[in-house]
Amino acid sequence: MKNVLITGSTKGIGLAIKNELELSGYRVFGSGRSELNQDSYLCADLSDTNNAILLYEKAKQHLGNIDILINNAGEFLYSPIENINKDITQKLINLNFTTPCLLCSYVAKDMKKNNFGRIINIGSISGVVGEAYASIYSATKAGLGGLTKSLALELAQYNITVNQINPGWVETNLTNNALDKEEKEQTLDIIPQKRFIEPIEVAKLCKYLVSEDAKGLTGQNINLCAGLSCGA
């Protein structure tokens, strides 16, 4: 039985991943900003990078060992660049990039010792092709992609794989609340498959990537986006 630490596990993609892995027999420790009365969960704001070590220690205390890390927590910001300030920029960098880096650092030591590990970073198609009015978000997710490739090379000899999933538009409450009917139709019109990705699709890809069947797959940025990254 493998032990999993996943951030942002209370809703959307993160919740789908948590449920899928638990159904498959994995032991999962989650985190999020919601208050939940669960032993296998920590309520923490990971835009405060001091909480990264607290999360790692709590997860290790509960699980005994962390075999799999899934960096899912992140925040999207839609804003013209002239409205961006230092505080907003630092918050996104902390949550979308620095905290994932720190968690990778903490778990890598144990994974090396055990000669096994799986790390999955949840990026975004915006970090691959760019997105107007989402420059800081896109930049942090692009940075995560670079981290993924570099860590895959660094850790490969220890039977540790590091991969990234870059979802496009995903069918979540957050997406539905952000788009009105007309905006949703316009968005669907530019997606080759004319649909949004379902959270379960990301979850099942995660389940494959952490399995033995995927042991030769590392350093990859996988675009799960219904064709959005291919262009018109």
Q: Which residues are catalytic?
A: 137
Which residues is 117 bridged to in the sheet? 160
Task: Tell me phi and psi for residue 32, to 5 degrees.
Answer: 180, -175
Q: At what angle do helices 86-93 and 135-155 cross, to 10 degrees?
A: 30
For residues 203 and 165, the answer to whether their CB atoms sit within 8 Å is no
Give CB contacts under 8 A, 24+ apart, made by 143-148. 143/97, 144/71, 144/96, 144/97, 144/100, 145/121, 145/221, 147/97, 147/100, 147/101, 147/104, 147/121, 148/119, 148/121, 148/123, 148/219, 148/220, 148/221
Which residue blocks in 49-180 are alpha helix, DSSP H? 50-63, 86-93, 99-114, 126-129, 135-155, 173-178
CB atoms near residue 78 (< 10 Å): 10
Characterize 208-217 residue by residue with b for buried, 16 or more Cβ atoms within 10 angstroms of its Cβ, and e for exposed. ebbeeebeee
